Structure 1
Amino acid sequence: MGKRVILNKAKPILISLCFIGVGLSVGSLVDAADSDFEKFKQQRKAEVSQFNQSKKAEFKKFRDEYLAEYDAYRGELLKFWSVPEQSSSEVEVIYTQDKQTRVKIDALTQQVVIENLTDEVIDQDVIISKLKADPNTRVLLTNINNQASLTDEKNIVNTLIDQPSEVVAEKVINEQIDTQQQQMLSQLDVQQSIEEIEIEIAAKVTPSKAKSLEIKSKLKQVNEINKQSQKRKKIADKQVEALVKINPTYKKTQVNTMRLPEDYLYKLSKDYLSFYQKQSSEMNIPLSLLLAISYAESTFDPKAKSHIPAFGLMQIVPRSAGMDVARKFYRKNQAPTSIELYQPNINIRYGAGYLSILNEQYLDGIDDPTSRQYCVIAAYNTGAGNIAKTFNGGNNRSIKQAYSKINALSPDQVYSKLMKRLPYPETQKYLAKVSKLEAKYQHQINQWNLSE
């Protein structure tokens, strides 16, 4: 008994000692693990920060190169055209390779304006033959190959007019640069929430601290964009001044105005319709809206790119719409590449996905579907934050606070307020164009054979 008692007493002591030993080992391991984890966090923070900076630098380089190329091309156009018009949110402009002829297309008015540099009236058929042979305009003529639309005398106006003065040129050039500046500033607003999330992830800071860092980051970028725009205006001024000194003798312009065929919009989109139909069904987005936005963004050029930078049919911006869709639908924290976005099926999925996020997440508190669609269209261009600011006033980007104000208005009143108070005129033009195109597509789609 006594022996057993002694053994029973000794056993707990041995067990306690074992636990002490294990405890020491675990403590050491925990300390080591904490240290390793802290190193991992710091390394991860550095990696995310480095990746973000690398991406920003990459996009800035792309933007700078794009705009430099745009400005250089304008300089080439100025040698022939006193007003070097280029594509805008309202009209698509295409030049022939020799820059002697340009075609301006307006899908809303269904009008094509062909301007040809000449001092003598040239036969209509000669101009059309040139456009059909030129690689820049060949595809366009394929889509409007309805001879009636090209040769009906009622639709053709042959006139020779003098080119405007350099004063008009300066005004148009400055408007082009201002528009591009607005587009870049608007995208900074879209990216604000993305920046905030990434700062939190990278720095492990509180939301309020992240907001402060994000605002500083945005102010820095705004300053860079404003400086760049001022620099570009000075370059443009020098281009115009250089031409004024040599006083080029500009040819007159022969203007031919024609009507687009009724099936023009269908021909532009028919190669991609199956992709649009699939995403319209899966994302619950009207087919007419997908097509209207695609026309406004790229006129259905799958290789389209812009200085934002944005890519492809629906002009997806990797760091805003691209990142939002990647996180929600692909469960990854990685923006799509330009190579991916040049593929029509991928691009349309990202565009439809972003519209779905706007419609069902960011703007889901807007009750009336027509009012919500107006806001979705504008937000696709400038972000939900600017929609909130439009109705809240000031710099209040809370969309939840804007819901009650929007819901108190009729759809027509919502549209009117957006057109008057959106922060950027470019977004106002975008909303007007897409809304009209959407109505046009809605009417025409019923006449298309979508089963082909």
Structure 2
Amino acid sequence: MNQNHIKALALAVAVALSSPLALANDPFDELERESTRVSQSQQEKIEEFHAWLDNYLTEYETWRDDYTRNLDKERAQLINQWGSGEVSGSTKAVEYDSANTLKKVVDYENNEATISVLVDAKADGSAVINDLESFDIDGQTISMTNAVKEVALVDYSASQEKKEKQFVLDQLKGQLQELDVQANRLVNSGTGIPDSFIYERAYKKKLALIEATKPRLEAIAELFSQKRRELGLDDVQESLPKPELPKEEPQKENKQHKVEAAPELIEEKVQDASTKNQDRVELEKEAVKEETQQKPEVNLDIDKTIVPVKVEKKVVSYKVKLPENALKQRASQFTPLVEEESERWGINAALIMAIMHSESSFRPTAKSHVPAYGLMQVVPTSAGHDVNKKFRQIDAPMKSDDLYVPTINVETGTAYLNILDKSYLKSITNDESRMYCVIAAYNTGAGNVARAFNKDRSTNIRKAATVINSMTPDQVYQHLLENLPYDETRNYLQKVNSRIALYK
């Protein structure tokens, strides 16, 4: 109770006692009424705070949804012309010319580049490329002398349609993970908001994302069907992809910490929702399906084989390998910066480099489809906000443009590793075991790491640490690979761990 309330209560008592009606009206009635007023005010403040948080998170989600719609529109235009909606990602740069008939793709993950030209099916196409003896990539001149030529018809087959749908599903999984990370950040930030509110909101938003994916997949199916009709190809009917998403297990109620009861309520709501609309069954059931040890996959049941009748366009491509030292040269630019931030935050420099290698292939301009930004692929509203609040005394997300600046990005990414290592996961006693968990948490959040070890699938990190501390580091590593809720995170852990040795 603040000073104003205390003064108000004192005044109420004084007035009541000095009044001629003091004997007729119990002063404690005034106290009770004032107490009720204060209590109501406090409840209103809580509700107001919840509304503020919801609006704050909704702002980011609205921006994310706008980004997704624009991306879908861009990819639809590319599919319409190229048969493929290939766009830049965290380890791939894609550029088109103004006429949208020439494409340059730099695949940093596989260390190769491809120049492609879109021409009529009967045209040669070589003339466009023959004039190009070399081209520049990141300041290096790449010769076309040893380029390997490939020619392919513009592809509107069922298998190509499946690839385009898989892009949407992969983006969905990344955005679902980000909701996990944001929920875990709020739980660990001590906002005073009940964990149940945070988890329930995150889960409802997951369902909304899953539901929003269905029309996106249908739009791709319709686009491919339309193109097949235009080109005189036999159409094909196929089932919608079925994303095998991680289960949100109900967390057992704890009498001392009632926050664990919320997911049970969410589970019931999901089951109710999945029975109301049969068209949603496969998408929503996968969100709450019993998690197995099998890797997630997309199943497409193809009823027919497409038989080409007429194809109007083809793609002539020339693929070249990038210099073997290209990755090393990019990495060397940031080694001094990484060593500086490593010492500052107490994080192994080899780990930072391995994460940077895996996240962006050492590209400051990298942007994923979550979206995340820069060298260490920082998400402004989760890792960026965490670092801002804890170390910069700014309770707000970072600006995406700032994350393209190497010094800011590496500082932020390494500071976030510090938060994971020294705060969220500090109860894990073995350094190697904790490192494996930090790597996984950097990708999917500490809460999902906890879920991998807790039998009730709760996000309680201290509870998970008890299990982790009873294992050897090798056992922890294998357990993560077998039990992390997202296949992407399992692959990420293997990738980063295997690359640490490259930078020691």
**Greater Rg over alpha carbons, structure:** 1
Residue 158 (structure 1) aligned with residue 149 (structure 2): yes
Residue 120 (structure 1) aligned with residue 124 (structure 2): yes
In the TM superposition, residue 190 of structure 1 has moved relative to its aligned partner by 1.4
Sequence identity of aligned pairs in percent? 29
Whole-angstrom CA distance in 2 between matches of 1:45 and 1:28: 31
Whole-angstrom CA distance in 2 between matches of 1:342 and 1:51: 29
Partner residue of 1:242 out of 226, 249, 270: 226
Partner residue of 1:212 out of 196, 201, 212: 196
Match in the other structure for 2:86 = 85
Residue 421 (structure 1) aligned with residue 483 (structure 2): yes
Whole-angstrom CA distance in 2 between matches of 1:303 and 1:160: 31
- The residue type equivalent to 1:142 in the other structure is D
Q: Which stretch of the first structure deviates more once superposed, 39-48 or 228-237?
A: 39-48
- The residue type equivalent to 1:399 in the other structure is I
Whole-angstrom CA distance in 2 between matches of 1:311 and 1:47: 32
Partner residue of 1:389 out of 428, 451, 458: 451
Report Cα offsets for 1:206-229 as digits up to 9, x if no partner.
xxxx13222321221111111111
Kindly indicate whether the alpha-carbon contact (under 8 Å) linking 1:80 and 1:250 is maintained by their aligned counterparts in 2: no
Residue 179 (structure 1) aligned with residue 170 (structure 2): yes
- The residue type equivalent to 1:59 in the other structure is Y
Change (3 A) 1:326 1:240: same
1:315-394 matches, within 5 Å, as 315-394=377-456
Kindly indicate whether the alpha-carbon contact (under 8 Å) linking 1:285 and 1:352 is maintained by their aligned counterparts in 2: yes
Match in the other structure for 2:244 = none
- SS of 1:201 mapped into structure 2: coil
In the TM superposition, residue 426 of structure 1 has moved relative to its aligned partner by 2.1
In the TM superposition, residue 67 of structure 1 has moved relative to its aligned partner by 0.7
Match in the other structure for 1:231 = 215
Whole-angstrom CA distance in 1 between matches of 2:391 and 2:35: 34
Match in the other structure for 1:432 = 494
- SS of 2:416 mapped into structure 1: helix
Report Cα offsets for 1:348-384 as digits up to 9, x if no partner.
2221111111122223344554443332222111011
In the TM superposition, residue 392 of structure 1 has moved relative to its aligned partner by 3.1
Kindly indicate whether the alpha-carbon contact (under 8 Å) linking 1:143 and 1:267 is maintained by their aligned counterparts in 2: no
Kindly indicate whether the alpha-carbon contact (under 8 Å) linking 2:92 and 2:109 is maintained by their aligned counterparts in 1: no
1:267-286 matches, within 5 Å, as 267-269=329-331, 272-286=334-348
Partner residue of 1:142 out of 118, 127, 138: 138
Kindly indicate whether the alpha-carbon contact (under 8 Å) linking 2:109 and 2:361 is maintained by their aligned counterparts in 1: no
Match in the other structure for 1:71 = 72
Residue 310 (structure 1) aligned with residue 372 (structure 2): yes
Partner residue of 2:326 out of 264, 273, 282: 264
Change (3 A) 1:108 1:77: closer
- The residue type equivalent to 1:216 in the other structure is E
Kindly indicate whether the alpha-carbon contact (under 8 Å) linking 1:111 and 1:259 is maintained by their aligned counterparts in 2: yes
In the TM superposition, residue 44 of structure 1 has moved relative to its aligned partner by 5.8
Whole-angstrom CA distance in 1 between matches of 2:181 and 2:392: 20
Change (3 A) 1:317 1:253: same
Kindly indicate whether the alpha-carbon contact (under 8 Å) linking 2:451 and 2:459 is maintained by their aligned counterparts in 1: yes
Paired residues, what number? 398
- The residue type equivalent to 1:76 in the other structure is Q
Whole-angstrom CA distance in 2 between matches of 1:104 and 1:400: 45
Whole-angstrom CA distance in 2 between matches of 1:416 and 1:38: 51
Match in the other structure for 1:10 = none
Report Cα offsets for 1:13-41 as digits up to 9, x if no partner.
xxxxxxxxxx9669669x89999987986
Change (3 A) 1:362 1:199: closer
- SS of 2:81 mapped into structure 1: coil
- The residue type equivalent to 2:83 in the other structure is S
Whole-angstrom CA distance in 2 between matches of 1:272 and 1:43: 50
Whole-angstrom CA distance in 2 between matches of 1:321 and 1:383: 9
In the TM superposition, residue 50 of structure 1 has moved relative to its aligned partner by 4.7
Change (3 A) 1:329 1:33: farther
Whole-angstrom CA distance in 2 between matches of 1:439 and 1:261: 22
Residue 94 (structure 1) aligned with residue 101 (structure 2): no
Match in the other structure for 1:14 = none
Compute the TM-score of the two structures, normalised by the length of structure 2: 0.67
Whole-angstrom CA distance in 1 between matches of 2:479 and 2:424: 19
Whole-angstrom CA distance in 2 between matches of 1:358 and 1:106: 30
In the TM superposition, residue 296 of structure 1 has moved relative to its aligned partner by 3.6
Match in the other structure for 1:252 = 314
- SS of 2:354 mapped into structure 1: helix
Gaps of 5+ in 2: 1-8, 16-30, 232-309
Kindly indicate whether the alpha-carbon contact (under 8 Å) linking 1:161 and 1:253 is maintained by their aligned counterparts in 2: yes
Compute the TM-score of the two structures, normalised by the length of structure 1: 0.74
Whole-angstrom CA distance in 2 between matches of 1:171 and 1:262: 33
Whole-angstrom CA distance in 1 between matches of 2:318 and 2:432: 38
Whole-angstrom CA distance in 1 between matches of 2:463 and 2:58: 35
In the TM superposition, residue 393 of structure 1 has moved relative to its aligned partner by 4.3
- The residue type equivalent to 1:401 in the other structure is K
Whole-angstrom CA distance in 2 between matches of 1:26 and 1:186: 54
1:21-36 matches, within 5 Å, as none
Residue 189 (structure 1) aligned with residue 180 (structure 2): yes
Change (3 A) 1:341 1:270: same
Kindly indicate whether the alpha-carbon contact (under 8 Å) linking 2:172 and 2:213 is maintained by their aligned counterparts in 1: yes
Change (3 A) 1:244 1:364: same
- SS of 1:318 mapped into structure 2: coil
Whole-angstrom CA distance in 1 between matches of 2:436 and 2:113: 28
Match in the other structure for 2:205 = 221
In the TM superposition, residue 327 of structure 1 has moved relative to its aligned partner by 3.4
- SS of 2:94 mapped into structure 1: strand
- The residue type equivalent to 2:327 in the other structure is L
- The residue type equivalent to 2:74 in the other structure is Y
- SS of 1:254 mapped into structure 2: strand
Change (3 A) 1:50 1:400: closer
In the TM superposition, residue 434 of structure 1 has moved relative to its aligned partner by 3.1
